[in-house]
Chain A
């Protein structure tokens, strides 16, 4: 067996860590998730830079990303060769794909034309980095497509076993419970944009037909950003170019030696050239950068990129008013503009949402809101005591709040549709919405009235109404409304999302000290 290189070992460990954290991004019986679950995004320099550009103030959550960028200024683009899980996946599949030669289209300044508009848009208050961030692409592909598919397949087998074995299936139940509790998604949620998310990942892999690490060297905006940092790195390879008598590096190198000289902004420091140099000539060490490196960023690319960023941020502002009215953001998001500045569209909140209430926006918030999370109450609701989305958000776009505060966050306001709602439309009792309303003082109440039905019977009818001042727009009423299809009560977005007053709430902890079974908190 071939001896495994240190870079490959590190890649595999980080890929494993990435997958473990991905699976751990789920409620597993404790209200608090390990802070580590979103650490890949917190350490993502592209996320850090775009959030800071957009917010124009220090966001401490993204400090690890800045540190990694600083480290790349010293060591170069090691992240791509040692850490990035998408890069690792490409390295794992690329030897099995026959190469056809580089696509000229992807060469040149294309990668800067991707990165710079993203930075420009961020500067003009819209953070689109997540659209092309490799970690976000990977997490979304996993969250929206592969993980639900995996969970659904496993469950179908489990359900099939029940049809086959009936109650005898219970002998296998402990095994399934183990899988369900530690590996599978608790419930399979199917997402819009699952197809697009997968297609992008597939496309990145298909690009490997043309050259290895094609995405990484020609497109990836994170890689490009790190490449710019690598330009300043004092870590250099000797010799800087191909040796006249050998040239084996051209075959060994996955990213950069398609030209004579090592392209420092593309070298991912896998050290294959050093490890496998037939003459053992290659060394890496700190020193002076070799002369004669080409200018890597022309002024017109820089300016053009930033200007197109401005257009990206401004021009795609069309929003359908109907969709806007139902654009419910996760709890704690009070300002749409600030949200678009800091949301990296990583999909973590949607992955972790306990009741599968969060879905990626397609065009609900305009083209600039693609992939940003919004709540669809008919499919899921915001669980009153759950704070997971705020916990996993890497940039604080969804603020991490203590549970007492989160309960008071206003997502929207519920409104009855009297043409649908049973007591109004059919004069029959229902009030399932009131029953489920989690606000202790009830934001949905009912008054009892004597009514005559359309066929002449007199009935005592409980007619519901919304106490708007108490409604936090969690959406459970719309979710549980027993009407088919459209609900008789719906949550609409509101501009004023200031939190409900604290007075209406029970004291923290509900006074259950000393109760041995008081739950996990």
Chain B
């Protein structure tokens, strides 16, 4: 082989190889990390580490939005809101890998001031530099067109849309209408307008919203879960302690796995099925790689 053809060969091979890698990457089976730990902050951090660490999601200088569920005037023990230590752990990790700013907010169902305080999240985040726990401001909602959906357009929260990284941090819990409330449902917290009205076709509607507001990372807090009377609960008898945090870059896969923690199948959850059909991720757990730590 002469030098010319050798070089040609190398060039062609490298082109091919790169395409191959890209295709492999695209088809890469989604990974769901499951971490169990009584220290909820450590559980959250380890779950992200199992996916390759926060640096895989957050680049230095990024503006990061962490969207917990803190919609209810309930305490952490009542399991209606994301556990404050999970939120704190993720915020610290984002800062550690160089995030310029971490914004935390939710459009709450009860009085926002009470929710932020009572959820424990205000206390958990106090003292963290460059972390802003913000109230929703109505003027920041912008209408976003949705292609091929049930909803033609909806008002979404500007700061969620403009973030470099959107980290979706729901708490896993029972819900009267959708059976479970997980990552896909948690994005309701950045919806403006009369969001209750989407309840009449909630599966496709949530798939619509998730198709325009992508969660780069979904971390599901299943440290303690509401098994009945959700999404708000209030009765400690309905709370089950699992000490588990589930994380994935694939929101559907994360939701699908978390569903099994309640003894349910992903296909029983209308919202998950609708998102899967919409191509937002994988719900078949046989095509998902689960890593534990």
Nearest chain B CB to A101's CB is how many angstroms away? 52
User: Is A458 part of the contact surface with B, judged by Cβ < 8 Å?
Assistant: no
Binds A, one of B52-60, B71-79, B283-291: B71-79
Pick the residue among A422, A434, A439, A511 that contacts B176 (CB under 8 A): A434
* Binding-face segment, A16-24, A73-81, A366-374, A381-389: A381-389
Of the listed stretches A55-63, A120-128, A141-149, A512-520, chain B binds A512-520
Asked if A511 and B120 sit within 8 Å, CB to CB, the answer is no
Rounded to whole angstroms, the CA-CA distance of A163 and B117 in the bound complex is 30
Task: Find chain B residues with CB under 8 A from A426 CB.
Answer: 200
Give B97-147 interface residues, CB cut-off 8 Å to A.
Answer: 109-111, 113-114, 117-124, 137, 139-140
Report B's interface with A, CB cutoff 8 A: 73, 75-78, 84-85, 109-111, 113-114, 117-124, 137, 139-140, 158-159, 162, 175-177, 194, 196-197, 199-202, 229, 231-238
Residues of the A chain whose Cβ atoms lie less than 8 Å from the Cβ of B117? 29, 519-520
Bound complex: CA of A467 vs CA of B250, how far in Å? 40
Q: Is A159 an interface residue (CB 8 A)?
A: yes
Q: Are B177 and A462 in contact (CB under 8 A)?
A: yes
Quick check: B231 and A163 within 8 Å, CB to CB? no
B177 with A506: CB separation less than 8 A: no
* Pair A506/B235 contact, Cβ less than 8 Å: yes
Q: Which of A159, A435, A437, A446 touches B139 (beta carbons < 8 Å)?
A: A159
Among B75, B122, B235, which residue has the most Cβ atoms of chain A within 10 A? B75
5 CB-based A-B contacts, threshold 8 Å: A438-B232, A440-B229, A512-B77, A515-B77, A520-B117
Q: What residues on B are CB-neighbors of A432 within 8 Å?
A: 196, 199
Contact with B along A362-402 (1 / 0, CB 8 A): 00000000000000000000011110000000000000000
**Binary contact track A478-497/B, C-beta < 8 Å → 1, others 0:** 00111010000000000000
Contact with B along A270-288 (1 / 0, CB 8 A): 0000000000000000000
A462→B176 contact, CB < 8 A: yes
Contact A163 B139 (CB under 8 A): yes
Complex Cα distance, B229 from A29, in Å, reads 27
B75 pairs with A519, CB closer than 8 A: yes
B75 contacts A515, C-beta separation under 8 Å: yes
Contacts of A434 in B (CB 8 A): 176-177
Q: Is the CB of A428 within 8 A of B177?
A: no
Given contacts A512-B77, A517-B124, A520-B118, contact A383 B235 (CB under 8 A): no
The main secondary structure of chain B at its interface with chain A is: helix
Partner of A446, one of B121, B123, B176: B176
Is there an interface contact between A429 and B200, defined as CB atoms closer than 8 Å? yes
Within A406-450, which residues are at the interface with B (CB < 8 Å)?
Answer: 422, 426, 428-432, 434-442, 446
How would you classify the secondary structure of chain A's contact residues: helix, strand, loop or mixed?
loop
Chain B contacts for A354, CB-based, 8 A:
111, 113-114
Asked if A519 and B229 sit within 8 Å, CB to CB, the answer is no
Closest residue on chain A to residue B85 by CB atoms: A517
Q: What is the 8 Å Cβ interface bit string for chain A, positions 324-356, against chain B (1 contact, 0 not)?
A: 000000000000000000000000000000110
Looking at A163, A484, A520, which has the most chain B CB atoms within 10 Å of its CB? Answer: A520
Q: Are A440 and B235 in contact (CB under 8 A)?
A: yes
**A510 pairs with B109, CB closer than 8 A:** no
A210 close to chain B: CB less than 8 A: no
Q: Does A191 make an interface contact (CB < 8 A)?
A: no
| Besides A29-B113, A442-B229, A512-B75, 9 new A-B residue pairs in contact (Cβ under 8 A), listed by A number | A167-B159, A167-B162, A437-B232, A442-B176, A482-B196, A511-B77, A515-B120, A517-B85, A518-B75
Chain A residues contacting B118 (CB-CB under 8 Å) are 385, 519-520
The residue on B at minimum CB distance from A380 is B111
The distance in angstroms between the C-alpha atoms of A430 and B194, with both chains bound, is: 13
B232: chain A residues within 8 A (beta carbon) = 435-438
B76 partner, pick from A431, A437, A506, A512, beta carbons under 8 A: A512
How far is it, in angstroms, between the C-alpha of A386 and the C-alpha of B112 when the chains are bound? 13
B58 nearest CB across to chain A (Å): 19
Given the complex, which residues of A lie within 8 Å of B124, measured CB to CB?
517
Decide if A515 touches B76 in the complex (CB within 8 Å). yes
Contact B177 A517 (CB under 8 A): no
Report which residue of B123, B139, B234, B238 has the largest number of chain A beta carbons within 10 angstroms of its beta carbon.
B234
Q: How far is the CA of A341 from the CA of B176 in the complex (A)?
A: 43
User: What CA separation (Å) do A171 and B75 show in the bound complex?
Assistant: 32
A480 to B194, CA, bound (A): 9
Contact assessment for B158 and A355 in the assembled complex, using a CB-CB cutoff below 8 Å: no
Task: Tell me which of B111, B120, B233, B235 has the highest count of chain A C-beta atoms within 10 A of its own C-beta.
Answer: B111
A435 to B198, CA, bound (A): 13
Residues of A within 8 A of B200 (CB): 422, 426, 428-430
Which of B121, B140, B176, B238 touches A431 (beta carbons < 8 Å)? Answer: B176
Task: Tell me, in angstroms, the Cα distance from A105 to B61 when the chains sit together.
Answer: 74
A482 touches B236 (CB 8 A): no
Specify which chain B residues have a CB less than 8 angstroms from the CB of A439 in the assembled complex. 234
Name A384's contact: one of B110, B123, B137 (CB within 8 Å): B110
A520 CB contacts on chain B under 8 angstroms: 117-118, 123
Any chain B CB within 8 A of the CB of A311? no
Q: Are A482 and B158 in contact (CB under 8 A)?
A: no
Question: Pick the contact of A482 from B109, B177, B199 — CB < 8 Å?
Answer: B199
Q: Using a CB-CB cutoff of 8 Å, which residues 236-290 of chain A contact chain B?
A: none
A481–B78 alpha-carbon span in the complex (Å): 24
Which chain B positions have C-beta within 8 A of A462? 176-177
| Chain A proximity of B69: nearest CB distance (Å) | 13
For residue B195, which residue of chain A has the nearest CB? A482
Residues of A within 8 A of B175 (CB): 435
State in angstroms the CA–CA spacing of A428 and B200 once bound together.
Answer: 6
At the interface, yes or no: A465 with Cβ under 8 Å from chain B? no
Q: How far is the CA of A384 from the CA of B235 in the complex (A)?
A: 14
Give the docked Cα–Cα distance between A283 and B201 (Å): 82
Q: Which residues of A contact B121 (CB under 8 A)?
A: 517
Chain B residues with CB below 8 A from A446, complex form = 176
How long is the Cα–Cα vector from A417 to B231 in the complex, in angstroms? 24
Q: Report yes or no: B77 in contact with A510, Cβ–Cβ below 8 A.
A: yes
Give A432 Cβ to nearest chain B Cβ, in Å.
4
Q: B123–A517 contact, CB under 8 A?
A: yes
In the assembled complex, A27 has its CB within 8 A of some CB on chain B: yes
CB distance from B64 to the nearest CB of A (A): 15
- B233, A440: Cβ atoms closer than 8 Å: yes
Which residues of B are found within 8 Å of A386, using beta-carbon distances? Answer: 111, 114
Q: Which residue of B lies closest to A482 (CB)?
A: B196
Question: CB of A162 within 8 A of chain B?
Answer: yes
Q: Which residues of chain B are within 8 angstroms of A190 by Cβ–Cβ distance? A: none
- Knowing A354-B111, A517-B123, A519-B117 touch, does A385 contact B196 (C-beta < 8 A)? no
- A186 on interface, CB distance cutoff 8 Å: yes
B252 nearest CB across to chain A (Å): 22
- Of B114, B158, B197, B238, chain A has the most CB atoms within 10 Å of the CB of B114
Q: Is the CB of B139 within 8 A of A506?
A: no
Q: Mark A154-198, 1 if CB is under 8 A from B, else 0.
A: 000001001100010000000000000000001000000000000
A429 to B205, CA, bound (A): 13
Q: How far is the CA of A199 from the CA of B236 in the complex (A)?
A: 52
Q: Compute how far the CA of A429 lies from the CA of B76 in the bound complex, rounded to whole angstroms.
A: 30
Enumerate the 3 nearest inter-chain pairs by beta-carbon distance, A residue then B residue, closest first: A517-B120, A440-B234, A482-B196
Chain B residue with Cβ nearest A186: B113
